[in-house]
A and B are shown apart, each in its own frame.
Chain A
């Protein structure tokens, strides 16, 4: 990174003759005066560090949104707030044109967030809400099934209960592999129900 920066500085001093680029660059430094050149270099270094700091702080919170997993889905609104705060603080650390540019860019980014991420997370149809609802629904379906199975068995409604489950799974958008896995499990559930019914009949 430092080498890249030095190359850029050399380039800024003007085109160097072929094969003598380094020498010409050093000459330019000497012409400007060692002390002044060092001061400029320090200023550049500090500015670059600030710039990188801006990048890191501005997106630090945002990047965390990109992390996957259930806990993040539930923490997203807070993360967005953190990201906004970090971004604004990062911009404050800059000065002059860099600040102007960063503010403009950040406003654009914030716009993008509002348009995409915020809409995504905060409206009733957000991805996070859809995700949470889907997990919740799956848990409830499973719980209801267990709660109601004994009664369904006693009243001879195992088939009805299974069909209800089948209808629910049929409404899910699943990969073909998952669809097949679900079908296979429902078929097996049918076998279990059948065995249960036959035992009941035999006992009668």
Chain B
């Protein structure tokens, strides 16, 4: 088995997406086995790895956003309750004053 076949076999057997395999195989097909071919392939895989890590850290960030939003929702509910109470009480006070004025 020559080098090209050996590399092709490694790519085909790898547990990576078909899209990535095709990208690597296309490079192999285009260039054959040049001194820098493997390095180019590894750079492609580096990009894929960077995307995966970005996705992982995005998940962690999304969790932080959800946690924060939950806290904020609680705060907003408290504020809404405060607003209702404030307006209700102010109405009651005004009505009481009105009643007094009517009685005078």
Residue numbers of A with Cβ under 8 A of B are 5, 8-9, 12-13, 32, 37, 40, 43-44, 47-48, 50-52, 54-56, 58-59, 62-63, 65-70, 72-73, 94, 96-98, 101-102, 105, 109, 112, 116-117, 120, 127-128, 130-131, 134-135, 138-139, 141-142, 145-146, 149-150, 153, 165, 169, 172-175, 178, 181-182, 185-186, 188-189, 191-196, 198-200, 202-203
Contacts and interface: CB of A to CB of B under 8 A. Distances in A.
Interface of B: 3, 6-7, 10-11, 14-16, 20, 33, 37-38, 41-42, 45-46, 48-50, 52-65, 67-69, 71-73, 75-80, 82-87, 89-91, 93-99, 101-102
Given A96-B97, A174-B63, A202-B3, A40 B52 contact: no
A199 B60 contact: no
Nearest to A37: B102
The prevalent SS among residues of B at the interface is helix
B70 to A, nearest CB: 9
Nearest to A4: B91
Contacts of B52: 185, 188-189, 192
- Which 10 pairs, one residue from A and one from B, show the smallest C-beta to C-beta distance? A66-B76, A51-B90, A134-B64, A47-B94, A203-B38, A195-B14, A55-B87, A138-B57, A142-B57, A191-B15
A142 B53 contact: yes
A56 B73 CA distance: 19
A167 B50 CA distance: 17
B93 A101 contact: yes
A93 to B, nearest CB: 11
A40 to B, nearest CB: 6
